[in-house]
Structure 1
Amino acid sequence: MEENKKHLEDLTHIRSMMERSSRFLSLSGLSGVFAGIYAIIGAAIVYFDINVGYAEYIRNTAGGGEDQNKKLVFLVSVALLVLVASLVTGYLFTSRKAKKQGLKVWDKSARHMMLNLFVPLIAGGALCVIMMAHGLLGMVAPLTLIFYGLGLYSSSKYSFIELKYLGISEILLGLISAYFYGKGLLFWTIGFGVMHIFYGALMYFKYEKPAKG
């Protein structure tokens, strides 16, 4: 009986080691929560700066002009600030979690995850630039949601399963946003703000909080 119990413990340990070596498990749920908060703050800044309905702003921007170009630069700047803040915060929380677990932040599984995440993101970013160059600003929010969702779905096999479901949610939101043209800011806020907070909190309480108890 004792021998069987020892074998089961050994198998569990081996399985845990294999999972750690093939999956990036240091990703912190808190990084998702803060990324969502940053996204909501960024969306609020954009909304109040535009000071008109987003659909109306899309129509006005399509005509070009110096003022519209300034607004476009402002939108891109806010989006970049949200991205940088999210990446920095994510790295800090992930590093702290990895240190507690005795794991490396940048290992083979992390590299695979980042590669699968950023290939769709770079392709989607390039397509968004092309859309903006043609005055199709209303397609930027749907495209960012869709390509971000594809990146999450692809990279989830190297990390937590929740990323897969978050990716599917982002893709669906992007498609809905494309249908409701001109409502992109609303769906962008839901996708990058609310959904990040929801899944980040879910991952935190599922994988991190119990370990502290």
Structure 2
Amino acid sequence: MESKNYQDELAHIRQMMERSSRFISLSGLSGVIAGIVALLGSVYVYFIFQREGINYFDGQRNIYTPSLAKELFFVAIMVLILAISSGYIFTARKSKKQNLRVWDATTKRLLINFAIPLVAGGFFCLALWYHHYFPLIAPSMLIFYGLALINAERYTLSDVKYLGICEVILGIIALFWLGWGLIFWAIGFGFLHIFYGTMMYRKYD
């Protein structure tokens, strides 16, 4: 009986340490919704190409005008805003169920470590857009996003690291298949998010 109580106390202490050092309220549903939003954005971009007379799947190296690149950039920003908003909603709901605070010292450390590579990557992509290196933007987004996830893993669920590694690998592959950024973007931000979000939902939610 005493042995069981001792094990229960150890489990409780371990759980308290986990809660204090890691942001464990991250919801798998937020990843699923983010993936769906990214796929919808990819479909919308495909129809933009159709409107501009670009047959994306004809195997030809497409040339994007600055105005078209600006429109695509705006779509990417809207997808990002919707994904972040949905992520916050589902994560806040999970935190409420677990009686945990959404915003604390651990959350701040998580966001800082996540933001540093992401912000650097954002400025890098803006520079690529400014110099009209449009085919490099999608691979760069995947790589820097993956690095941001890897960098933030120590303050949240360990599964995030593996998603980040997959994003980096996919972005590196995309560097050698320039012109197919929309496909890699849909796989990385769409299908991978849905896959890992579903897995994390079954495992933790």
Common topology (TM > 0.5): yes
Letter in 2 for 1:145: L
Residue 159 of structure 2 corresponds to residue 159 of structure 1: no
Which residue pairs with 2:181 in the alignment? 184
Which residue pairs with 1:12 in the alignment? 11
Which residue pairs with 2:165 in the alignment? 168
* Alpha-carbon displacement from aligned partner over 1:73-128 (angstroms, at most 9, x marks no partner): 21011111111111111111011000000000011111111111111011001011
8 Å CA contact 1:144, 1:174 repeated in 2: yes
Deviation at 1:58, TM superposition (A): 6.3
Give me the TM-score of the superposition, normalised by structure 1: 0.91
Residue 24 of structure 2 corresponds to residue 21 of structure 1: no
Question: What pairs with 1:1-213 in structure 2 (closer than 5 Å)?
Answer: 2-51=1-50, 52-54=54-56, 59-61=62-64, 68-208=65-205
1:26 and 1:58 map into 2 onto residues whose CA distance is 43
SS at match of 1:182: coil
2:55 and 2:114 map into 1 onto residues whose CA distance is 33
1:54 and 1:121 map into 2 onto residues whose CA distance is 28
- The runs of at least 4 consecutive aligned structure 1 residues that moved more than 6 Å come to 55-58
Give me the TM-score of the superposition, normalised by structure 2: 0.94
8 Å CA contact 1:113, 1:158 repeated in 2: yes
SS at match of 2:198: helix
8 Å CA contact 2:117, 2:148 repeated in 1: yes
* Alpha-carbon displacement from aligned partner over 1:2-48 (angstroms, at most 9, x marks no partner): 11111111111000000000000011000000000000000111111
- Give the CA RMSD over aligned residues: 1.4
8 Å CA contact 1:50, 1:57 repeated in 2: no
Deviation at 1:133, TM superposition (A): 1.4
Letter in 1 for 2:48: D
2:137 and 2:56 map into 1 onto residues whose CA distance is 13
8 Å CA contact 1:118, 1:151 repeated in 2: yes
Deviates more, 1:6-15 or 1:49-58: 49-58
1:159 and 1:54 map into 2 onto residues whose CA distance is 38
1:155 and 1:53 map into 2 onto residues whose CA distance is 38
Which consecutive residues of structure 2, in runs of 5 or more, have no partner in the other structure? none
Distance 1:58 1:77, change over 3 A: farther
Letter in 2 for 1:135: H
* Alpha-carbon displacement from aligned partner over 1:29-72 (angstroms, at most 9, x marks no partner): 000000000000001111111122448896422xxxxxx22212
Number of positions where the alignment pairs a residue of Structure 1 with one of Structure 2: 201
